[in-house]
Amino acid sequence: MTDFVYRNGRLHAEGVDLTRIAESVGTPVYVYAAGGIERRYREYADALAGTDAMVCYAMKANDNQAVLSLLRNLGAGADTVSEGEIRRALAAGFDPKKIVYSGVGKSADEMGFALSAGIGEFNVESDHEVDLLADVARQMGKRAKIAVRINPDVDPKTHAKITTGKKGNKFGIDFDQAMGVFKRAAAHPSLEPVGVASHIGSQITNLDPYRAAFSRMVDLVKALRAEGIAISVLDVGGGLGVGYTGEDPPSVADYVAVARDAAAEAGCKLVLEPGRRIVAEAGVLLTRVLFVKEGSAKTFVIVDGAMNDLIRPTLYEAHHPIVPITEPKPGTAKRRVDVVGPICESGDFFAKERELGPVGAGDILAITHAGAYGAVMASSYNARRLTPEVLVRGQQFSVVRPRPSYDELIGRDRVPDWV
Ligand SMILES: *Cc1c(COP(=O)(O)O)cnc(C)c1O
């Protein structure tokens, strides 16, 4: 965790003391380090120097307009999964040609919007989608560039809820059906099949599943060429993991080398769609301890953040490190505690049976590695206001999404006059 370090006993994001942010913005609050996001994007860009490649940041990991703007400034493209995400990418100034539109369920309206925006590539995932996109494009007098997302049937050895490239997952087209779908697409004058795509899952910490998937993709590219379908793009998806529990995932350079080799063998331009790897470690969720409740069997640290702010622990059994923002003295005894939120659900926890130094009411904790799939999944369950977000660069910080007021929260509803 290099973006957040203790200085003079206080945890800092770059040059900013997190205590200052917690006090001025309130808790819970997400804090992102701009330099960390940029550094991780550059790891990809540097590893790809000299390669015909495009890094399309998978913005479902963190879609804040300020985060998007940082990456757009560095030349990134965007991998999107909805009209809303395409609109966010356009609003952040992304070049439409660098927008890839992925996802297993696109509506005709969304397709039409994407076509009118002039996005670069549709990643299609079924024969029905091929036909629908062909219809929508024909009616608009447009020609859509498509990549077909295949399901290479490899096990990425990650959590079941983020495994996406094995037989039986809803994603992609079974490998043995792919040729038929490409031929069907090639027969539509309004479609231009240009690529083979895959995305086998998320939080992958070993390169072997990638090697297996990419080699199947390369085989398919060659088979398609033999059938006269000229494929020029290999879109390898995202999924590279981060060290939530101190595990040591492959370096970006090693991962990119595997992808680059595959693209070279296929004679294709390379498209990558990293999400988590770029933003996860550049974010923390700050939360304040409300009470420490000593049960007979357990000690509960009850904090003001909750599952509505960060759902990953309960959704994926995800482990997030938790540290106090005031540095514990060396050798301080730790206790085994559950860190839980105020929501009326047993699933509302950040950590169970976690060794934590002494904490008391009012202390602030940083839940680390929270920059990806954190704020984007927040909700206002229990009529809690959506979590605000702060971006830090050097000595300065800005609120990049304010906490809504209670009036905004309540004022969204309408009570019919017949009630
Ligand atoms: C979610 C997703 C990604 C990004 O996955 P990460 O694990 O965050 O890198 C890339 N491509 C597609 C199609 C996705 O659905």
Same domain, 265 and 179: yes
Whole-structure pTM value: 0.97
Same domain, 255 and 398: no
Letter for the amino acid at 159?
A: H
Q: Are 53 and 272 in contact (CB under 8 A)?
A: yes
Letter for the amino acid at 397?
A: F
Q: Are 138 and 116 in contact (CB under 8 A)?
A: no
Same domain, 348 and 264: no
Give the pLDDT confidence score for residue 165 in this predicted structure.
Answer: 79
Asked if residue 75 belongs to a domain, the reply is no
- Segments forming the whole domain that contains residue 244: 103-272
Q: Which atom of ligand 1 is nearest to the CA of 149?
A: 13
Does ligand 1 come within 6 angstroms of the Cβ of 103?
Answer: no
Same domain, 294 and 265: no
pLDDT tens column, 381-394: 999 999 999 999 99
User: How far lies 276's CA from each of 92, 211, 370, 398, in Å?
Assistant: 19, 20, 10, 22
Average confidence score pLDDT of the chain: 96
Q: What is the CATH number of the domain that holds 307?
A: 2.40.37.10
Same domain, 313 and 249: no
Pairing of strands 77-80, 99-101: parallel
Give the pLDDT confidence score for residue 247 in this predicted structure.
Answer: 82
Same domain, 167 and 206: yes
Residue 254 clears pLDDT 80, i.e. is over it: yes
Does ligand 1 come within 6 angstroms of the Cβ of 374?
Answer: no
Helical spans, DSSP H, in 267-400: 276-279, 312-316
Phi, psi at 259, each rounded to 5°: -65, -40
Identify the sign of the CA torsion 200, 205, 211, 214. Answer: positive
Q: How far apart are CA 237 and CA 221, in angstroms?
A: 16
Does ligand 1 come within 6 angstroms of the Cβ of 202?
Answer: yes
Does ligand 1 come within 6 angstroms of the Cβ of 239?
Answer: yes
Helical spans, DSSP H, in 248-373: 252-266, 276-279, 312-316
Rounded mean pLDDT, 316-342: 94
Same domain, 215 and 356: no
Same domain, 232 and 295: no
pLDDT tens column, 256-306: 999 999 999 999 999 999 999 999 999 999 999 999 999 888 999 999 999
pLDDT tens column, 334-353: 999 999 999 999 899 999 99
Cα of 196 vs centre of ligand 1, distance in Å, is: 16
Which residue has the CA at smallest separation from atom 11 of ligand 1?
A: 237
Q: Which atom of ligand 1 is nearest to the CA of 276?
A: 8
Give the pLDDT confidence score for residue 193 in this predicted structure.
Answer: 97
344 is catalytic: yes
**Number of domains present in the structure of the chain:** 2
Coil, helix or strand at residue 375:
helix
Does ligand 1 come within 6 angstroms of the Cβ of 199?
Answer: yes
Cα of 71 vs centre of ligand 1, distance in Å, is: 16
Does ligand 1 come within 6 angstroms of the Cβ of 60?
Answer: yes
Cα of 79 vs centre of ligand 1, distance in Å, is: 8
Domain end among 222, 238, 272:
272
Residue 1 clears pLDDT 50, i.e. is over it: no
Q: What is the CATH number of the domain that holds 245?
A: 3.20.20.10
Does ligand 1 come within 6 angstroms of the Cβ of 61?
Answer: yes
Identify the sign of the CA torsion 33, 27, 319, 359. Answer: positive
Same domain, 111 and 231: yes
The structure tokens listed for 395 are 């000595």
Q: Which residues contact 290 (CB under 8 A, 6 or more apart)?
A: 302, 303, 304, 342, 361
Cα of 377 vs centre of ligand 1, distance in Å, is: 15
Asked if residue 208 belongs to a domain, the reply is yes
Q: Which atom of ligand 1 is nearest to the CA of 240?
A: 9
pLDDT tens column, 123-161: 999 999 999 999 999 999 999 999 999 999 898 888 888
Same domain, 241 and 339: no
Q: How far apart are CA 397 and CA 35, in angstroms?
A: 12
Q: How far apart are CA 120 and CA 80, in angstroms?
A: 11
Residue 99 clears pLDDT 90, i.e. is over it: yes
Same domain, 160 and 262: yes
